[in-house]
Chains A and B, each alone.
Chain A
Amino acid sequence: EDKVVQSPLSLVVHEGDTVTLNCSYEVTNFRSLLWYKQEKKAPTFLFMLTSSGIEKKSGRLSSILDKKELFSILNITATQTGDSAVYLCAVAPGNYGGSQGNLIFGKGTKLSVKP
C-alpha cells in the first residue's frame, strides 16, 4: 500500500532556530514529491521535487529529495513566527488505471514558532 509518513508530528521552536522536517514514502512508480504549507486555510504550494540530490530553495526554505532512500527533508532557517503552520508532504505516483493526478498526503508536521 502506498504511504507517506511525516515526522515529527509536531514541533515547537523559538524564533531564529533552524528546523528540519522529514518525509518518507513508499509508493509504486514514483513521479514527484510536493511540499505544502497550511496556515488556517488552504494548503499553499512550496516545492515540487522530481530528481534526487537537487536542492530547491526559496528564501529561508529549502528542500531536497533522496530517491534511493525514499525520503525528503524540508529545512527552514532563521524561523519566524509567520512560519507557524502545518507542513504537508505529498507524493504523486506514476500513471496507472484511473488514478491519474492523485496525490498521497502525509498527516503533516505542525510547527509552532515562539517569539
Chain B
Amino acid sequence: DVKVTQSSRYLVKRTGEKVFLECVQDMDHENMFWYRQDPGLGLRLIYFSYDVKMKEKGDIPEGYSVSREKKERFSLILESASTNQTSMYLCATGELAGRKQYFGPGTRLTVT
C-alpha cells in the first residue's frame, strides 16, 4: 500500500512566521503535489514536482515555495504566514500512467 505522511495534522502559527509543511512518500513516485482545500473552492494546486530539484507552479503559488531535495520528500514553505493562508493542506503523490494520485492525511493550518 502507498503511504503518504505529512509532518503535522494540526498546526497553529502566528502571522509573519515561517512555516514548513513536510510530506514523505514511500512509493518511489516521481510526481508529488501540494494542494490547499477551502470550503466552496475545492482543491487548488499550489506547486508540484515531477523530479528531484524540479518544481512547477500550480494555480495559486503566491506566498508559497517548495523544496524537493530527495525523491521521497516534498516540502511546502510559507515564507511569511498570513491569515488568508489558514486552510487544509494536502500532499499527494502520483503515478504518471493514468494519473492516479494518493493523498496524505492533510495538515490543518491556522494562522492567527
- By a beta-carbon cutoff of 8 Å, the part of chain A in contact with chain B is 31-32, 34, 36, 41-45, 48, 50, 88, 90, 92, 98-103, 105-108
Pick from B31, B41, B45, B105: contact of A100, CB under 8 Å: B31
Residues of chain A lying within 8 A (CB to CB) of residue B90: 42-43
Complexed CA–CA distance, A45 and B93 (Å) = 13
Q: Total A-B residue pairs with C-beta atoms closer than 8 Å?
A: 62
The 29 sampled A-B contact pairs (Cβ below 8 Å) are A31-B99, A32-B98, A34-B99, A41-B105, A41-B106, A42-B90, A42-B104, A43-B43, A43-B90, A44-B103, A45-B102, A92-B98, A98-B50, A100-B31, A100-B50, A100-B96, A101-B33, A101-B48, A101-B50, A101-B94, A101-B95, A102-B33, A102-B45, A102-B48, A102-B58, A103-B94, A103-B99, A103-B101, A105-B43
Q: Verify B106–A34 contact, CB threshold 8 A.
A: no
CA–CA, A99 and B4, complex, Å: 21
Interface residues on B, range: 20 to 34
A92 touching B99 in the complex, CB below 8 Å, given contacts A42-B106, A98-B50, A99-B56: yes
The reply to whether A98 and B100 form a contact with Cβ atoms under 8 Å apart is no
Q: Complex Cα distance A36/B101, Å?
A: 10
Closest to B45 in A: A102
Whether B104 contacts A101 by the Cβ 8 Å rule is no
Contacts of A50 on B, CB cut-off 8 Å?
A: 98
Across the interface, which residues of B come within 8 angstroms of A45, CB to CB?
100-102
Mask: chain B, 1-44; 1 = CB below 8 Å from A; 0 = not: 00010000000000000000000000000110100000011110
B42 touches A31 (CB 8 A): no
User: A98 to B56, Cβ gap below 8 A?
Assistant: yes
Q: Given contacts A105-B42, A107-B41, could you give 18 more A-B pairs where the C-beta distance is less than 8 Å?
A: A34-B99, A41-B105, A42-B104, A43-B43, A44-B103, A48-B98, A48-B100, A92-B98, A92-B99, A98-B50, A98-B56, A100-B50, A100-B96, A101-B33, A101-B48, A102-B48, A103-B99, A105-B43
